[in-house]
């Protein structure tokens, strides 16, 4: 059955129990029930087939979705496995109206769907609609247009915070400038976004050259590009490094878009890429109080087989336990990737100044530093970690106001 659109004016919103904005898309022009789905067409030509069970499962009426918590109440397990066809109409205001016939133990049920809400989910079967990939790969050329925000705007305005979070999302790193040089500021910055994630290095950690270090970062040696804590099953998602003093000679910082490099490796050396995605190796941190170990691939992939999580940290790599026949191949692949990661063409270099902070996606963007000479001046960074869920949540809530 076909329903012609009656609406000519901007449609009224249907409350879908959804706080992210969904109004303002094109109106629905056609809706038709066929082959276990409702086929929808919007004024811009977009078409999508929403399966009947999906539609019944996403009914937003007060019986199906809790009006206050906005959480799902409808339980599809109570419904027949194959649903009867609903009567399909478009309302005068352009919403999709479905009338489900009575079925085993259930009365007739009406569902109303906002056209814009459905439009946002037209490709819901391919990807998580909340997290469409907004990553922008970059090379050393990003030095000309650094994602940077002012510390004051970040701390005191929602727009400043939102811009910074969006940059972090796209580029996998963002800078803050013109902040104070009081110890502990890194925690105040982290708390502006969420709750710092504690590790065996504490709620925050002090990066200074110390006489009895338990970690390469607490010396003055150069740090090759790396991710922090790949020896954890769940390494920290994001890292903040706040500069309090940087008077020593040397100690320049580096950042590399490791995922962009992984994509390039896949093109240039598919065999090395395959080895690094398929071979699980050991990572381990040990000191007097901890022994934290994880075995995983250097390049982890998502469900689509694309690189998504990097575990590259040469000093935290443990004994290589591989069948003898795989060892040479692994080292060759590892050296190839490492060589690309430290290639100046991929590397952003800069000097962190007191009152500046760098934040980065620890699983995507690798960080490093040059060696420095602690006898020429004081160098002191403070760091902490944040979870992706909190960062993305903060961004989504702020984006409600700007969309
Ligand atoms: C770290 C680190 C970089 C620096 O602490 O994890 O990599 O510039 N520090 O000291
Ligand atoms: Zn309902
Ligand atoms: Zn580090």
**What was the pLDDT predicted at 339?**
97
Residue 132 has pLDDT above 90, yes or no: no
**Residue 231's pLDDT band (cuts 50, 70, 90):** very high
For ion ligand 2, residues whose CB falls within 5 Å: 59, 61, 63-64
- CA–centroid distance, 91 to ligand 1, in Å, is 59
- CA–centroid distance, 344 to ligand 3, in Å, is 19
Residue 3 has pLDDT above 80, yes or no: no
**What was the pLDDT predicted at 11?**
56
Residue 104 has pLDDT above 50, yes or no: yes
Over the chain, what is the mean pLDDT?
Answer: 92
Residue 127 has pLDDT above 60, yes or no: no
Q: CATH 3.40.640.10: does it fit domain 140-402?
A: no
The three state secondary structure string of the chain is CEEECCCCCCCCCCCCCCCCCCCCCCCEEEEEEECCEEEEEECCCCEEEEEHHHHHHCCCCCCCECCCCCCECCCHHHCCCCCCCCEEEECCCCCEEEEECCECCECCEEEEECHHHHHHCCCCCCCCHHHCCCCCCCCHHHHHHCCEEEHHHHHHCHHHHHHHHHHHHHHCEEEEECCCCCCCHHHHHHHHHCCCECECCECCEEECCCCCCCCHHHCCCCEEEECCCCCCCCCCCEEEEEEEEECCEECCEEEEEHHHHHHHHHHHCHHHHHHHHHCEEEEEEECCCCEEEEEEECEEECCCCCEEEECCCCCCECCCCCCHHHHHHHHHHHHHHHHHHCCCCCEEEECCCCCCEEEEECCCEEEEECCEEHHHCCEEEEEEEECHHHHHHHHHHHHHHHC
pTM (two decimals): 0.82
Give the pLDDT confidence of 163-195 residue by residue, as tens digits. Answer: 999 999 999 999 999 999 999 999 999 999 999
The percentage of the chain sitting over the pLDDT mark of 90, rounded to a whole number, equals 81
Tell me the mean pLDDT in the region 56-80: 94
Residue 214 has pLDDT above 70, yes or no: yes
- Candidate of 223, 256, 373, 384 to mutate for ligand 1, largest count of ligand atoms within 8 Å of Cβ: 223
Residue 36 has pLDDT above 90, yes or no: no
- The domain segmentation of the chain, as residue ranges, is 28-120, 140-402
Give the pLDDT confidence of 307-337 residue by residue, as tens digits. Answer: 999 999 999 999 999 999 999 999 999 999 9
- CA–centroid distance, 25 to ligand 2, in Å, is 23
**What was the pLDDT predicted at 124?**
61
Fold of the CATH domain 28-120: NE0471 N-terminal domain-like (3.30.2020)
The CB density around residue 103, as the number of other CB atoms within 10 Å, is 14
**What was the pLDDT predicted at 25?**
84
């Amino acid at each position: 059955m076909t329903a012609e659109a009656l609406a000519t004016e901007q449609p009224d919103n249907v409350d879908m129990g959804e706080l992210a904005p969904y109004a303002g898309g094109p109106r629905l022009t056609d809706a038709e029930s066929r082959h276990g789905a409702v086929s929808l067409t919007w004024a811009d030509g977009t078409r999508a087939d929403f399966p009947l069970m999906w539609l019944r499962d996403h009914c937003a009426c007060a019986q199906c979705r809790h009006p206050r918590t906005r959480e799902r109440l409808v339980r599809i397990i109570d419904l027949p496995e194959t649903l009867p066809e609903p009567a399909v109409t478009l309302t005068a205001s352009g919403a999709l109206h479905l009338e489900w016939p009575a079925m085993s133990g259930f009365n007739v049920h009406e569902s109303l769907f906002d056209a814009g809400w459905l439009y946002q989910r037209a490709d819901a079967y391919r990807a998580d609609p909340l997290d469409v990939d907004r990553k922008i790969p970059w090379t050393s050329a990003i030095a000309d247009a650094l994602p940077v925000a002012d510390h004051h705007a970040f701390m005191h305005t929602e727009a400043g915070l939102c811009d910074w979070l969006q940059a972090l999302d796209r580029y996998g790193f963002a800078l803050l400038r013109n902040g104070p040089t009081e110890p502990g500021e890194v925690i105040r910055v982290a708390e502006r976004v969420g709750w710092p994630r504690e590790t065996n290095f504490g709620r925050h950690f002090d990066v200074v050259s110390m006489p009895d270090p338990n970690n390469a970062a607490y010396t003055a040696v150069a740090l090759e590009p790396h991710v922090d804590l790949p020896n954890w099953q769940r390494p920290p998602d994001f890292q903040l490094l706040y500069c309090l003093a940087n008077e020593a000679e040397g100690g320049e910082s580096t950042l590399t878009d490791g995922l962009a490099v992984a994509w390039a490796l896949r093109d240039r050396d598919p065999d090395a890429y395959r080895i690094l995605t398929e071979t699980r190796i050991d990572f381990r941190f040990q000191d007097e109080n901890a022994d934290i170990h994880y075995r995983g691939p250097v390049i982890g992939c998502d469900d689509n087989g694309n690189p998504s999580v990097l575990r590259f940290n040469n000093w935290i790599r443990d004994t290589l336990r591989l069948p003898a026949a795989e060892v040479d191949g692994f080292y060759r692949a590892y050296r190839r990737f490492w060589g690309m990661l430290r290639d100046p063409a991929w590397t952003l270099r800069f000097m962190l100044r007191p009152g500046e902070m760098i934040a980065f996606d620890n699983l995507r963007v690798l960080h490093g530093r040059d060696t420095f000479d602690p006898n020429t001046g004081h160098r002191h960074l403070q760091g902490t970690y944040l979870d992706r869920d909190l960062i993305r949540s903060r961004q989504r809530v702020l984006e409600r106001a700007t969309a």
